[in-house]
Amino acid sequence: MLQYSHRSLLGRLIDREREVLQLLVQGAEIKHIAHQLKISFFTVEEHIKHIKRKLGVRKLSTLIALGKDMGL
């Protein structure tokens, strides 16, 4: 079960952002995420930018680690 703070953080994300974060945690590259979700590479990058802002992280590696901590 997710800790309260993790649920709170995930609640800040829209569904598509959660999907992108989950795929990043699974090790997918941006181009593969774009292909799988049928969106552009640029759109994936924008989602990642928004996710990082909403979760208060700057580095992609930190974002992925946080996603793993959240159980994604």
pLDDT digits (tens, 9 = 90+) for 59-70: 999 999 999 998
CB-CB contact of 59 with 20 (8 Å) = no
User: CATH number, domain at 19?
Assistant: 1.10.10.10
DSSP assignment letter at 56: T
pLDDT for res 4 = 47
Identity of residue 23: L
Number of domains in the chain: 1
Query: Could you tell me the residue range of the domain that residue 38 belongs to?
Result: 4-69
Looking at per-residue confidence, does 2 or 68 come out higher? 68
Q: Where are the beta strands (DSSP E) in the chain?
A: none
Give the pLDDT confidence of 13-39 residue by residue, as tens digits: 999 999 999 999 999 999 999 999 999
Q: Is the per-residue pLDDT at 43 higher than 70?
A: yes
CB-CB contact of 29 with 45 (8 Å) = no
CB-CB contact of 63 with 54 (8 Å) = no
Identity of residue 25: V
The pTM for the full model equals 0.88
